[in-house]
Amino acid sequence: MPSEVFFGRGVIKQNASKLTGYRNVFIVTGKKSAKKSGALTAFLEVIGGANFQIYDNIQENPLLSVCHEAGKLAYDFEADVIVGIGGGSPIDAAKAIALFAANPEMLPDDLYKPPFENDPLPIIAIPTTAGTGSEANAYSVMTLDGKNIKKTYTNEKSYPKMSFVDPTFTESLPIEVTISTALDALAHCTESLLTKNSTTISEHFAAEGISVIFPRLAQIAGSDENISEEARDDLSLGALYGGIAINTTGTCFPHPMGYNLTLNHGLPHGKACAIFQRELIYIHEVYREKHPSDRKLANNLDLLFRSYGVPMSEALDVIDYLADYNEKFSDDLIRLYVERIKEVKSFASSFCEISEEDIFDIYKHVVGFANRTK
């Protein structure tokens, strides 16, 4: 991972010298959180006399067209760096904007048509949620205009050049966003361990991520909503670990399956991934029974279970309780959702490949009218 990642309280001030020397700084944020979290002020305090322009129009699940538009503004501003301050939405947006700003002739859809004439501008990431891990990978999840589809752009030059992960900035998060973003980070770690392209290093980060995030979520589920500094530190660190893990492996089916629930039913991204975790574990346990010679899966499942530190059934109850989603959909709607995501490559990355029919069945068990007979 070619990013320089600084972690801890006060890291921006402590590394101020890294942030001087830019001429025109283009800052990408959502409406409120960059200011509310204190991250924007902390950043502006250290950039010396640089010119800056703030683009604060990034909404949750950022639209490709909005990032394209922002790219033009950054080009006109002659930006020499793009800074994403906020949750995964502004940071992912910053990655796309950095490419558009360097290639003003590009149309929005060209984001998915490499090679590109010019490399993206350098990106700096300052997360204010503890969830996506976007600060540690090159993924940028865009929502395609008018299509209700999310599509990931990734480019080996789209890693943040530097990331400043200061858990202080997550203290202003409402409890519901804290929960959802932590569930996202936990999903990254769990899903990463169940991809066949995991490595010893990605497995280590995924397992560590689970072991720091899950106990904090269990505390919250046990109605301890006063989140301590230590808990915030753990959640930010776990999210960073999850981002590093999926940088190697990508995610499994809960991510694309969740996109339909986020875009069509407003379920926040982390919760939308969380509701599929029970199926993810179930399917891999069944697969392990059928393929006892697959040592890698057996080892990864064992590591995963150990990392949770409680019986998996208990952990899944906590996850379902926090995700708190009970809507049910008709078979026809589910078929439409399967159609929208069936080409996404996360379905091929898990140990057991997931067919179109499997996707339909999983939806039926989670948000349809079928029960899993175990």
Question: Which residues contribute to the site for Fe ion (CB under 5 A)?
Answer: 184
The structure tokens listed for 158 are: 């789209």
87 binds, among ligand NAP, Fe ion, none (CB under 5 to 8 A by kind): ligand NAP
| 47-51 long-range contacts, CB within 8 A, separation 24+ | 47/19, 47/20, 47/22, 48/20, 48/21, 50/20, 50/22, 50/23, 50/24, 50/25, 51/23, 51/24, 51/25, 51/77
* By CB under 6 A, residue 133 contacts ligand NAP: yes
- Choose between 184 and 208: whose C-beta lies nearer to ligand NAP: 184
SS3 helix, strand, coil % of the chain, rounded to 5? 55, 10, 35
Task: Write the DSSP symbol of residue 63.
Answer: B
Rg of the chain in Å (alpha carbons): 20
Task: Write the DSSP symbol of residue 173.
Answer: -
Least Å distance between CB 246 and ligand NAP?
A: 6
- Choose between 203 and 361: whose C-beta lies nearer to ligand NAP: 203
* By CB under 6 A, residue 345 contacts ligand NAP: no
* By CB under 6 A, residue 250 contacts ligand NAP: no
Kindly tell me which residue out of 68, 157, 216, 269 binds ligand NAP, with binding defined by CB under 6 A. 269
Pairing type for strands 149-154 and 139-144 reads antiparallel
* By CB under 6 A, residue 134 contacts ligand NAP: yes
Least Å distance between CB 161 and Fe ion?
A: 22
The owner of tokens 């590109």 is 116
Least Å distance between CB 40 and ligand NAP?
A: 11
- Report the distance separating Cα 277 and Cα 313, nearest Å: 11
37 binds, among ligand NAP, Fe ion, none (CB under 5 to 8 A by kind): ligand NAP
The contact set with ligand NAP (CB under 6 A) reads 30-33, 36-37, 60-61, 86-89, 92, 128-129, 131-134, 137, 139, 141, 150, 169-170, 172-173, 177, 181, 184, 243, 269-270
